[in-house]
Chain A
């Protein structure tokens, strides 16, 4: 008996009583409400109306705020586009001439990396500094730089200034602006020269030893014995760097020339 609520002889409802409760119109209305698409319901107009008003207000606000303060916007653009200040500070620091110094007592690999870093910084400095004096800038020649590199072993001819181009101001060792430098060439000594009237006044030699990177400085365009010994101690395929090469362009004016990099060979 517990499972169900058993009703014995419950009073019966008459058909009239049941039929009285029939209401097809209400049923139809309820059906239409359920089946009515959202676009036809009052909610649709409410939601879309509110959204439209919101968009309009947003648009008006944006328009008015942007038209009243153009100078603020311009200032913001300038702030966003201006370069970082640190870059200039770094370049100024590197400009100072460095005496012979040991950069670090580290492993050769790390020293090499350190040296490259120093070199890059100096390169950046070089790039940022106007090393060419207006008077000495000569028009670009049609002959490309690569063609000049193809004949590095040609004897230097200062009168060859006539083929002047921007490479004429480039320092060279035995006519080469890079690539391989033979041990025999080092043993025979060499000078750093240019194809133009510019005379090299001083330069730095950077070599990487097992004790760290070493920098030698000389106030002439010639190799010193100390430098020569340091280079000869380097093995074949080692790299040597000539940095901070200062040149005299005449009239007491100095300019910094492009750095050099050579790989040692037999």
Chain B
């Protein structure tokens, strides 16, 4: 499965990013390079989970404002700065759902669904797609997050772990368990059809 290449940095890139962060900690105006680098990524992460585009832009601005206000508290842990931004974004998205009393959105491409069905060695029929959508709709929030990040956003287990504050291995194990659970439900439903 292809994964998001932006997240994976070389040591040099990480060091360069750390210098940007240190500069921004001293002078907030030096936050600009970080903002430019991660604005689109963070927006897409938020928009993936929200129905309203304008609200997604607002929440994105809020995320960067919070990051800027709290950059003095940031501690480098050998991972890209974006993992910290994602955590803020996750918190802001759920805060927005609570404020607006809105339902969480799951954005899925048809080809992504078909890819999952293929992995399970099933036929790519319209019925199978409907069953799979129904299974995703019945998952718990934590389960949806893992499936979404791994299969629809193509993130590595390491990145998933850093965003969800899990170890890479734990993220992997949890995702496999959810997929197995989905397969069981899928086969059970397929038998009933």
Interface residues of A (CB under 8 A from B): 1-10, 13, 15, 18-19, 21-24, 26-28, 30-32, 34-35
Contacts and interface: CB of A to CB of B under 8 A. Distances in A.
Given A8-B108, A13-B47, A18 B40 contact: yes
B151 interface: no
Which bracket fits the contact residues of B? Answer: 35 or more
B110 A9 contact: yes
B133 A18 contact: no
Contacts of B61: 23, 26-27, 30
Contacts of B84: none
16 contacts: A1-B133, A1-B134, A3-B104, A4-B105, A5-B51, A5-B103, A7-B106, A9-B108, A13-B53, A15-B40, A18-B39, A18-B44, A19-B39, A21-B57, A31-B65, A31-B69
B64 interface: yes
A5 B100 CA distance: 14
A103 B40 CA distance: 105
Nearest to A10: B107
A18 B51 contact: no
A1 B69 contact: no
A6 B104 CA distance: 8
B142 to A, nearest CB: 12
Contact of A31 (B68, B104, B136): B68
B57 A31 contact: no
B138 interface: yes
Contacts of A8: 108-110, 113, 133
Nearest to B41: A18
Given A13-B47, A18-B39, A5 B138 contact: no
Nearest to A34: B69
Contacts of A22: 35-36, 39
Given A4-B137, A4-B144, 10 more contacts: A1-B134, A3-B137, A4-B104, A5-B103, A8-B108, A13-B53, A18-B44, A24-B32, A27-B61, A31-B68
A110 to B, nearest CB: 77
A1 B107 contact: no
B130 to A, nearest CB: 9
A31 B106 contact: no
Contacts of A5: 51, 103-106
B115 interface: no
Interface in B8-40: 28-29, 31-32, 35-36, 39-40
Interface in B96-150: 103-110, 113, 133-134, 136-139, 141, 144
A27 B139 CA distance: 37
B116 to A, nearest CB: 13
A6 B106 contact: yes
A9 B39 CA distance: 23
B7 interface: no
B186 interface: no
- 10 A-B pairs with least C-beta separation: A1-B137, A5-B103, A5-B105, A7-B107, A4-B106, A31-B68, A6-B106, A18-B40, A10-B107, A22-B39
